[in-house]
Amino acid sequence: MAGYAPGPGGRNLDVTILVTGGAGFIGANFIHDWIAATGETAVNLDALTYAGNLESLEALAGDPRHVFVRGDIGDRALVERLLGEHRPRAIVHFAAESHVDRSIHGPGTFVQTNVNGTFELLEAARGYWSPLPGPDRARFRFLHVSTDEVYGTLRPGEPAFTEEHRHLPNSPYAASKAASDHLVRAWHHTYGLPVVTTNCSNNYGPYQFPEKLIPLMIVNGLAGKPLPVYGDGMQVRDWLYVRDHCSAIREVLERGRIGETYNVGGWNEKPNIEIVHTICSLLDELRPDPAGSHARLVTHVADRPGHDRRYAIDARKLERELGWRPAETFESGIRKTVRWYLDNADWVRNVQTGSYRAWLDQNYGHREHA
């Protein structure tokens, strides 16, 4: 295992963090939030796959507190070099393949990134952390950002997921994230690596790639295209505004207990069809369509294989230990989100590349109306 000695004179860790996947949806929001809230430097390692977009970080162009490096978390030599060069006090690990539909079509990529990539990152982190002097070893953290989907599905009326729930993943994406959770836990219990894990509910907000439900409905609604809803649309999710998620991660990073898991939720359980109609109503208000209400575009399509019916997060541990609660209600957060997409048409247009359109055709083009 490679290791790094302290810098000249055993200098302390720099006021820097390493963020993986920081050009993705949640990662980009986190970097904006982190720099604004702390003023600390964020080294951003991102492979810039289909969902990574540097335009989401354009406001930080030229800001020395944002250091972008294009690369893969599976490239251990690169990660080791970055750790040795920048000497971060923490790693915040967002990098992941994260779309269930894509995992169904191509599970191998999810195993490679989410499982193997996390393993390589953990080993690089262990090699960096192990030889640090005592105070720096005690200060360092590895924060792993995961999902509620690792817990499986809930029946109507069943209590929400707590941190004590077993991992029972049902999709290739969820299984790959569950595996990464287990690796992080094992590296703490076996090697002592100071880790903390967060499992969040469905995020929404600015900079989300329009393959996910909320931005897809906004973008298609504005274009007068069908709004595809899987099956009966009664799949229930808990919805978390992304900037609330970012504030929760900051709290857990600074004050969370080593080795613990914290669920992060928005306390907003809603069925998908209600989300779609809420977006239609907001578009009717903010960008009326002469052809009529946007609800006319709702189109029920065949459900995806193994679609979980309900997720729900119990975030009371995070509130009890760290005093965190979301600042946004769903009503305030979804209005901000729709407004952001209306005000950022250039960003939306630029992410709708040929590869994105090909993906939409692959995932939705063959589905018959339900």
Flag whether pLDDT at 362 surpasses 60.
no
Does 253 map to a domain? Answer: yes
Which stretch of 9-13, 19-23, 116-120, 166-170 has the lowest confidence by average pLDDT?
A: 9-13
What pTM value is reported for the model?
0.90
Does 90 map to a domain? Answer: yes
Torsion of CA 329, 330, 335, 338, to 10 degrees: 140
Flag whether pLDDT at 7 surpasses 50.
no
Does the annotation mark 149 as catalytic?
A: yes
Does 352 map to a domain? Answer: no
Total domain count, the chain: 1
For residues 76 and 124, is the Cβ–Cβ distance under 8 A? yes
Which stretch of 79-88, 180-189, 272-281, 296-305 has the lowest confidence by average pLDDT?
A: 296-305
Does 64 map to a domain? Answer: yes
Which stretch of 25-29, 277-281, 289-293, 299-303 has the lowest confidence by average pLDDT?
A: 299-303
Does 368 map to a domain? Answer: no
Flag whether pLDDT at 9 surpasses 50.
no
Average pLDDT, the chain: 91
Give the tens place of pLDDT for each residue, 152-166: 999 999 999 999 999
Q: Which domain holds residue 129?
A: 13-204+240-265+311-328
Q: What is the model's pLDDT at position 367?
A: 45
The residue from 46, 148, 269, 328 that is catalytic is 148
For residues 47 and 72, is the Cβ–Cβ distance under 8 A? yes
Q: 3-state class of 188 per DSSP?
A: helix
Q: What is the model's pLDDT at position 24?
A: 94
The residue from 33, 46, 149, 251 that is catalytic is 149
Q: How many Å apart are CA 239 and CA 206, to the nearest integer?
A: 14
Give the CATH number for residue 75: 3.40.50.720
Does 338 map to a domain? Answer: no
Q: What is the mean pLDDT of residues 120-134?
A: 97
The residue from 173, 230, 262, 341 that is catalytic is 173
For residues 89 and 15, is the Cβ–Cβ distance under 8 A? yes
Does 80 map to a domain? Answer: yes
Does 197 map to a domain? Answer: yes
Does the annotation mark 262 as catalytic?
A: no
For residues 218 and 176, is the Cβ–Cβ distance under 8 A? no
Give the tens place of pLDDT for each residue, 312-351: 999 999 999 999 999 999 999 999 999 999 999 999 988 8
166 Cβ neighbours under 8 A, 6+ residues apart = 151, 152
Give the tens place of pLDDT for each residue, 70-111: 999 999 999 999 999 999 999 999 999 876 677 788 899 889
106 Cβ neighbours under 8 A, 6+ residues apart = none
Flag whether pLDDT at 236 surpasses 60.
yes
